[in-house]
Chain A
Amino acid sequence: GNSVTQMEGPVTLSEEAFLTINCTYTATGYPSLFWYVQYPGEGLQLLLKATKADDKGSNKGFEATYRKETTSFHLEKGSVQVSDSAVYFCALGTGTASKLTFGTGTRLQVTL
Chain B
Amino acid sequence: DVKVTQSSRYLVKRTGEKVFLECVQDMDHENMFWYRQDPGLGLRLIYFSYDVKMKEKGDIPEGYSVSREKKERFSLILESASTNQTSMYLCASSLQGMYVTEGYTFGSGTRLTVV
Could you tell me which A residues sit within 8 Å of B by CB distance?
Answer: 31-32, 34, 36, 41-46, 49, 51, 89, 91, 93-95, 98-100, 102-105
Pick from A32, A42, A99: contact of B101, CB under 8 Å: A32
> Looking across the interface, which residue of chain B has its beta carbon closest to that of A45?
B106
**Interface status of B104 (Cβ within 8 A of chain A):** yes
> Looking across the interface, which residue of chain B has its beta carbon closest to that of A96?
B100
| Given A103-B42, A105-B42, A43 contacting B108 (CB threshold 8 A) | yes
Q: Are B42 and A43 in contact (CB under 8 A)?
A: no
Residues of A within 8 A of B6 (CB): 43
> Looking across the interface, which residue of chain A has its beta carbon closest to that of B45?
A99
Residues of A within 8 A of B42 (CB): 89, 102-105
Give the total number of A-B pairs whose CB atoms are below 8 A apart. 62
Pick from A43, A93, A104: contact of B100, CB under 8 Å: A93
Q: Are B109 and A98 in contact (CB under 8 A)?
A: no
Instruction: Please classify the interface of chain A as helix (H, G, I), strand (E, B), loop, or mixed, using the class held by over half of its residues.
Output: loop
Pick from A36, A42, A89, A99: contact of B109, CB under 8 Å: A42
Residues of B within 8 A of A89 (CB): 42-43
Residues of A within 8 A of B4 (CB): 43
| Given A43-B90, A99-B45, A99-B48, A93 contacting B99 (CB threshold 8 A) | yes
| A6 → chain B closest CB, angstroms | 9
> Looking across the interface, which residue of chain B has its beta carbon closest to that of A30?
B100
Q: Are A44 and B90 in contact (CB under 8 A)?
A: yes
Q: Which 6 A-B pairs have the closest CB atoms?
A: A104-B42, A43-B106, A93-B100, A44-B106, A43-B108, A43-B109
Q: Are B108 and A42 in contact (CB under 8 A)?
A: yes
| B62 → chain A closest CB, angstroms | 18
Interface residues of B in 97-113 (CB under 8 A from A): 99-109, 111
Q: Are A104 and B99 in contact (CB under 8 A)?
A: no
A-B contact pairs, 12 of them (CB 8 A): A31-B100, A41-B109, A42-B109, A43-B90, A43-B108, A44-B90, A46-B104, A51-B100, A93-B103, A94-B100, A99-B45, A103-B42
